[in-house]
Amino acid sequence: MQPCTPESSYFATPNFLDFIFDFQSIIDIPIMVFGAYCIMFKTPQKMNTVKFLMLNLHAWNAAFVLCFSFLLTPYILLPMMACYSLGAIDAPIMTVYLSLTCLAGSSASLLLIYENRYFTLFGKNYYWRKLRKTVLFFICALVPTFPLPLYLHLPNQENARVQVSEQLGDSCLQPFQYTDRKMFVLSFDKSVLYSLVPGIGIAFTGFGAFSFLTIVNLWFGKTSLVSSKTMKLQKQFAMGIIIQSVFVTIIVMLPSVAFAWTIFGWYHNQALNNFIMIVLAQYGIGSTIVMISVHKPYRDIIIDKLCRCPCLPKSNTNTCHNSFIVMLP
């Protein structure tokens, strides 16, 4: 590992991470509640077939916010696969597992939405109808088992904590004031991360296959079981889901790449570690904000509330609506 220099920056401290996560929790709650309200009461009737799946996706995102930001709050010590839990409960073995499971559940829920759109619109008369129940059961079963390989060879925690402290050294470790919290060490073997590759590969393969089939059939297919008006609505919904998928992929891939780079490059920078966790914490709330922004029925609620603001003269209401329509087609 590259030699450490003492970090005096506030950004490298556990206090900074704890403050950011506490502050974000205040913002997360109303936005997540509003997202659930939009799905339950503002989803168009023609999209009722996907309403439950949207709510399921939102529930997994909310669960991730609860587990990762509130219960866990991981102060991670990369390049060692170790962390302190600064969250509401000091049970990192459980909360790390739950956080990873919620990420897997969110990915599976998004995949189910893609599959539902393809099957509802185009796939009922094809071979997929015979295979889908088995495949969907496999995807759902993969969610709680996705993180389990990481836990197959947990080291003795007392010995592992001593080893982490020795390998990082006093110059790398920040003064830790949370004396009631104990370090959790996942593994000293980097290769355990490869156990996540099959699950990630299945998710990306599913996203790619169903998004490609849906896009090709929506924009280039000649036959469909729905009217042209409904088809237009389906295209808008598909574009919204694609944008939401791109966002969540980026918000997961960026910290994942940084995570892997620090581990396999054996590099320690505690401020960077904190920001990796902060970026990952935006997954749930970011996905909700994107969902509200890109889906027109939900977006119209925000536009209507903004245009009805008491600070805006009534004569400017139509102008306000038209401005948003131009900006957000």
Does any domain span residue 4? no
Q: Give the pLDDT of residue 312.
A: 54
CATH code of residue 238: 1.20.1070.10
Handedness of CA 247, 17, 60, 103 (dihedral sign): positive
Q: What's the pLDDT tens digit per position in 207-251?
A: 888 888 877 877 776 555 566 777 777 788 888 888 888 888 899
Cis peptide, bond prior to residue 155, ω within 30 of zero: no
- Give the CA count within 13 Å in the CB-facing half-sphere of 223: 4
| CB neighbour burial string for 261-272, b if at least 16 within 10 angstroms, e if fewer | ebeeeeebbbbb
Query: Based on the domain organization, do 168 and 314 belong to the same domain?
Result: no
Q: What is the pTM of this model?
A: 0.87
Query: Based on the domain organization, do 264 and 304 belong to the same domain?
Result: no
Which ranges constitute the DSSP H helices of the chain?
14-42, 48-64, 92-118, 128-145, 157-168, 197-220, 228-264, 270-280, 282-294, 296-307, 317-327
| CB neighbour burial string for 202-241, b if at least 16 within 10 angstroms, e if fewer | bbeebbeebbebbbebbeeeeeeeeeeeebebbebbbebb
State which residues of the chain have pLDDT below 70. 1-7, 123-126, 170-172, 174-176, 221-227, 308-329
Query: Based on the domain organization, do 287 and 299 belong to the same domain?
Result: no
Query: Based on the domain organization, do 284 and 305 belong to the same domain?
Result: no
Q: Give the pLDDT of residue 158.
A: 93
Q: Give the pLDDT of residue 324.
A: 38
Query: Based on the domain organization, do 81 and 204 belong to the same domain?
Result: yes
Query: Based on the domain organization, do 180 and 299 belong to the same domain?
Result: no
Structural domain range at position 139: 10-294
Query: Based on the domain organization, do 195 and 232 belong to the same domain?
Result: yes
Query: Based on the domain organization, do 269 and 309 belong to the same domain?
Result: no
CA distance 192 to 166: 22
CA distance 4 to 267: 9
Query: Based on the domain organization, do 255 and 313 belong to the same domain?
Result: no
Give 108-111 contacts, CB < 8 A, sequence gap 24+: 108/139, 108/140, 108/142, 108/143, 108/203, 109/53, 109/56, 109/57, 109/60, 110/57, 110/207, 110/241, 110/244, 110/245, 110/248, 111/139, 111/203, 111/206, 111/207, 111/210
SS3 275: helix
Query: Based on the domain organization, do 301 and 243 belong to the same domain?
Result: no
